[in-house]
């Protein structure tokens, strides 16, 4: 009976240490990453432990061997590679599979990790249950559902696979065997719990013994250092083989000789200082004389500069007035040129057409050449033409002999004259490429007055004139005027 009980306890011990091998250790300083991986491992028959640093993980491995370790790379203190080196260098832990669970990427990092002994690398960013299952399957660790589906072949050559069934329970042969079986199970459980307590006590005793040894060693080192310090204090100090008292006596003798020399040297220094002071006095007197002469020279120079500045202001004012006169005459010439230039356009012609923009370009460059800086404003005036509708629905000038009161005026067909419809391609090209405009010397603007400000007034009674006479007046009003605003 004792032999049977001992074999039963050995079986329990093997189960205890075997269960320890079915532990997984997650080493990561991020709780979020720990919980994420831990949640994915709930499908496996594993006890998951966590460590927040590499140092804590190494302490864990001193008393427990997990089946697999998931190691982060970037952590406070020791990083994942350093911990991996220590784990693989220790014969006790070298066989524990280590999987790098990190956000690091790249073939270089994977190569370094495998060279240091990592079994595999799982990415934190794209980790999936399938990736985890692949890695654990390589370690013969399968999900719980997978274990239930394990099958074994029956008869040789039968070709049929049946699930592995749990063993049937054995009924006791008689009522007398039940108490015996219950007592044995209870005794085994008690022995297993006692063994766990004994292992824990052994760890505690070992830790206490190590602490006591460290404390005793520290006290021994302190006592030894104190004794050596006391012995050194009792001995007369020496420098080499010469006692310190002899050296002090020699130093005193040298000091007395040095004092005598110092007295002689002090007298010499005092004489030299007196001579130097006399020289400094004479030098200072000469400097004061030079300073007075310099001040007189500076005052004369200041007066000369003031005279030169006054003359420069007079000359600058004269040049300014001359330039202003020249500028005004140049602007006047440019305006006269603009007034002499015909800036009218036809009824069906764009106001800012290529021909008219050539004339505007000439005006802008003439203004820039005489130094004008400001705004050139192009004001578009439309003539209120006498129109009639063609067969295609478009408006055209009315026949010449048509009475003006029977015409359809442009103001009736187009009530608005927005500026946007007049910004032609020649105008846009000129505005983008003209040097005075690009340099900011001249700003070119376009405004639209519509038909509101005619140069030539229209007849008050349209029925007294023909369409030709009316449109001749409208053609004179169909024009572009130029306004200048100097800055």
- Torsion over CA: 231, 235, 239, 242 (sign): negative
pLDDT of residue 192: 76
Residue 419, pLDDT score: 87
pLDDT at 162: 34
| Cα–Cα distance for residue pair 272/277, rounded to 1 Å | 9
CA 365 to chain centre: 49
HSE value, Cβ hemisphere, 13 Å, CA-based, for 485: 7
The span from the CA of 288 to the CA of 361, in Å, is: 70
pLDDT value at residue 199: 73
Asked if 414 contacts 347 with a C-beta cutoff of 8 angstroms, the reply is no
Q: What is the C-alpha separation between 101 and 122, in angstroms, rounded?
A: 5
| Residue 393 tokens, joined | 């629905």
* Cβ atoms 141, 70 nearer than 8 A: no
For residue 319, the model assigns a pLDDT of: 67
Question: Which residues, 6 or more positions from 475, have their beta carbon under 8 angstroms from its beta carbon?
Answer: 344, 346, 347, 383, 385
Instruction: Quote the pLDDT of residue 169.
Output: 42
Is the CATH number of domain 18-146 3.30.70.20?
no
Q: Name which of 79, 65, 67 is nearest 24 in CA terms.
A: 67
Structure-block tokens of residue 295: 């001040």
DSSP 167-231: PPPPPPSSTTHHHHHHHHHHHHHHHHHHHHHHHHHHHHHHHHHHHHHHHHHHHHHHHHHHHHHHH
Q: Which two tokens stand for residue 218?
A: 């520290």
| 21: three-class secondary structure by DSSP | helix
Instruction: Please report the pLDDT score of residue 16 as a whole number.
Output: 44
Which numeric CATH code is attached to 333-486? 3.30.1330
Residue 331 φ then ψ, to 5°: -65, -40
pLDDT in tens, the chain (487 residues): 444 443 434 444 444 444 444 899 999 999 999 999 999 999 998 999 999 999 999 999 999 999 999 999 999 899 999 999 999 999 999 999 999 988 887 888 889 999 999 999 988 887 888 889 999 999 999 998 654 444 434 333 333 333 333 444 444 444 444 455 566 666 777 777 777 667 766 666 666 666 666 766 777 788 788 787 877 666 666 676 677 777 888 788 888 888 888 888 889 899 999 988 998 998 988 899 888 888 888 888 888 788 788 777 877 777 666 656 655 666 766 676 665 566 888 988 889 899 899 999 999 999 999 888 999 999 999 998 999 988 888 888 989 899 988 898 888 887 788 888 888 999 999 999 999 999 999 999 999 988 888 989 999 888 889 999 999 999 999 999 998 888 7
Q: Distance between CA 409 and CA 386 in Å, rounded?
A: 5
On the CB side of 175, CA atoms within 13 Å amount to 0
Only one residue has tokens 């015409």, namely 407
Strand boundaries in 233-368, DSSP class E: 238-239, 242-243
Domain ranges in the chain are 18-146, 245-306, 333-486
Q: How far is CA 193 from the centre of its chain?
A: 58
Q: Judge contact between 66 and 90, C-beta under 8 A.
A: no
What span, in angstroms and rounded, lies between the C-alpha atoms of 465 and 72?
A: 98
């Amino acid at each position: 009976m004792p032999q049977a009980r001992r074999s039963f306890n050995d079986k329990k011990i093997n189960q205890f240490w075997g269960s320890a091998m079915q532990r997984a250790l997650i080493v990561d300083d991020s709780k979020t990453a720990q919980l994420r991986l831990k949640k994915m491992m709930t499908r496996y028959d594993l006890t998951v432990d966590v460590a927040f640093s590499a140092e804590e993980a190494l302490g864990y491995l001193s008393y427990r061997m997990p089946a697999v370790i998931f190691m982060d790379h970037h952590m406070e203190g020791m990083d994942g590679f350093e911990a991996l080196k220590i784990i693989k260098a220790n014969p006790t832990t070298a066989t524990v599979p280590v999987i790098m669970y990190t956000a690091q990427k790249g073939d270089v990092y994977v190569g370094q990790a495998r060279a240091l002994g990592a079994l595999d690398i799982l990415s934190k960013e794209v980790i999936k249950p399938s990736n985890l299952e692949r890695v654990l399957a390589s370690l013969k660790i399968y999900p719980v559902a997978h274990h239930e589906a394990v099958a074994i072949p029956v008869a040789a050559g039968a070709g049929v696979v049946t699930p592995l069934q749990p063993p049937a329970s054995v009924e006791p042969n008689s009522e007398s065997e039940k108490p015996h079986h219950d007592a044995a199970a209870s005794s085994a459980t008690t022995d297993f719990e006692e063994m766990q307590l004994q292992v824990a006590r052994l760890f505690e005793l070992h830790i206490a013994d190590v602490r006591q040894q460290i404390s005793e060693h520290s006290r021994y080192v302190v006592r030894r250092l104190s004794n050596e310090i006391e012995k050194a204090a009792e001995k007369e100090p020496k420098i080499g083989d010469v006692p310190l008292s002899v050296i002090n006596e020699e130093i005193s003798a040298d000091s007395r000789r040095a004092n005598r020399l110092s007295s002689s040297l002090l007298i010499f220094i005092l004489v030299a200082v007196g001579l130097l002071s006399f020289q400094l006095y004479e030098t200072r007197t000469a400097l004061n004389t030079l300073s007075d002469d310099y001040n007189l020279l500076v005052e004369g120079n200041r007066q000369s500069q003031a005279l030169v500045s006054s003359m420069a202001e007079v000359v600058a004012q004269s040049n300014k007035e001359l330039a202003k006169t020249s500028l005004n005459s140049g602007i006047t010439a440019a305006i006269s040129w603009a007034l002499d230039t015909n800036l009218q356009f036809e009824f069906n012609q764009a106001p800012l057409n290529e021909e008219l923009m050539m004339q505007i370009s000439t005006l802008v460059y003439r203004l820039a050449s005489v130094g004008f800086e400001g705004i050139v404003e192009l004001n578009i005036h439309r003539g209120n033409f006498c129109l009639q509708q063609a067969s295609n629905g478009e408006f055209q000038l009315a026949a010449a002999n048509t009475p003006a009161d029977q015409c359809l005026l442009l103001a009736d067909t187009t009530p608005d004259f927005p500026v946007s419809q007049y910004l032609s391609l020649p105008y846009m090209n000129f505005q983008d490429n003209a040097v005075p405009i690009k340099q900011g010397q001249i700003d070119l603007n376009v405004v639209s007055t519509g038909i509101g400000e005619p140069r030539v007034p229209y007849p008050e009674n349209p029925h007294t004139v023909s369409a030709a006479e009316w449109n001749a007046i409208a053609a004179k009003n169909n024009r572009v005027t130029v306004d200048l605003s100097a800055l």
